[in-house]
């Protein structure tokens, strides 16, 4: 986390697009890893608990790497970036902040495993596509981080894909629950694929490919998977029902998450913990 990528001077024309892209990458991983950490001890079986917490840990590590890149650009220290920003300053996709299901993570959690596997699979695939593109980013420190993150992502993707296919093929209650979860995830998946108001500049400066190209790539890769489980999904199903997180629109779920995850940090942000 403390490996400065060398404060490479950044063209002021590029900086807004670059920082926005980094905030999206960092905030997406950070909030999803947080949601994953709430699942701890509650997964369907012990083996899955071990695997899921390993994935959440990787994802939190990725967030830390992206926050470090922001820190190197003068955006502040990594812990304040992760813990001290208001919901309106966060650029994560709304889908990733939504609660895991009814109840509280310490007492009455009735979490939805179907939602967990679908959200994680769809997101991991979108993240993989984005990272493959970022490996060729004109911003070298980001290209280097993308390379590292990509190696771990392969296993995440395999893990979630296996779950989704298995539960979709099980039929019965599992199928019903999975279809409901897919509907819920797609209703906000545009928010994940979206790169925000500076998407055009990101592509122009070769930071990442065009939003539409990445989106079509996701649809192309997912199509045979959907077909293999007899599910028809069209582009029109993909929406942004609960707002665009890239411009700071969020739900009350994020406010609750932020107050929990910064509870100890906020006792004294200046203290060493």
Best CA proximity match to 58, nearest among 119, 121, 148: 148
83 binds another protein (CB under 8 A): yes
> Cα 153 from chain centroid?
12
d(CA 69, CA 51): 28
109 binds another protein (CB under 8 A): yes
Nearer to another protein, 184 or 205 (CB): 184
Question: Any idea which residue has 């902040």 for tokens?
Answer: 97
Kindly tell me the sign of the dihedral angle through the C-alpha atoms of 126, 131, 136, 137.
positive
d(CA 147, CA 136): 10
3 binds another protein (CB under 8 A): no
Structure tokens at 41: 């001890």
Q: Helix count (H) and strand count (E) of the chain? A: 11, 0
Nearer to another protein, 83 or 135 (CB): 83
**Among 150, 177, 216, 222, interactor with another protein by CB under 8 A:** 177
**Among 24, 56, 133, 194, interactor with another protein by CB under 8 A:** 56
Per CB under 8 A, the segment of 77-85, 179-187, 213-221, 235-243 that binds another protein is: 77-85
Give the interface with another protein as residue ranges (CB under 8 A). Answer: 1, 34, 37-38, 40-47, 49-50, 53-54, 56-57, 60-61, 63-64, 67, 78-79, 82-83, 101, 103, 105-111, 113, 166-167, 169-174, 177, 260-261, 263-265, 267-268, 271-273
């Amino acid at each position: 986390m403390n490996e400065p990528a060398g404060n490479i001077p950044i063209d002021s024309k590029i900086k807004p697009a670059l920082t926005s892209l980094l905030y999206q990458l960092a905030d997406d991983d950070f909030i999803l890893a947080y949601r994953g950490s709430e699942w701890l001890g509650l997964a369907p079986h012990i083996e899955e608990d071990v695997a899921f917490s390993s994935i959440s840990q990787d994802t939190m590590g990725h967030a830390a790497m992206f926050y470090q890149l922001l820190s190197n650009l003068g955006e502040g220290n990594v812990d304040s970036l992760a813990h001290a920003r208001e919901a309106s300053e966060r650029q994560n996709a709304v889908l990733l902040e939504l609660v895991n299901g009814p109840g509280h993570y310490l007492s009455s959690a009735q979490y939805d495993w179907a939602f967990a596997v679908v959200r994680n699979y769809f997101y991991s695939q979108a993240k993989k596509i984005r990272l493959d593109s970022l490996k060729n980013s004109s911003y070298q420190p980001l290209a280097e981080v993308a390379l590292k993150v990509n190696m771990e992502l392969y296993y995440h993707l395999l893990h979630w894909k296996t779950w989704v296919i298995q539960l979709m093929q099980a039929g019965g209650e599992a199928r019903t629950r999975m279809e409901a979860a897919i509907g819920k995830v797609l209703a906000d998946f545009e928010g994940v694929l979206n790169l925000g108001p500076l998407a055009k500049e990101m592509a122009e400066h070769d930071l990442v490919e065009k939003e539409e190209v990445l989106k079509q790539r996701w649809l192309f890769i997912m199509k045979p998977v959907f077909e293999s489980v007899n599910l028809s999904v069209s582009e029109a199903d993909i929406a942004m029902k609960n707002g665009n997180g890239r411009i700071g629109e969020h739900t009350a779920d994020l406010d609750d998450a932020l107050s929990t995850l910064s509870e100890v940090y906020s006792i004294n942000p200046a203290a060493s913990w």
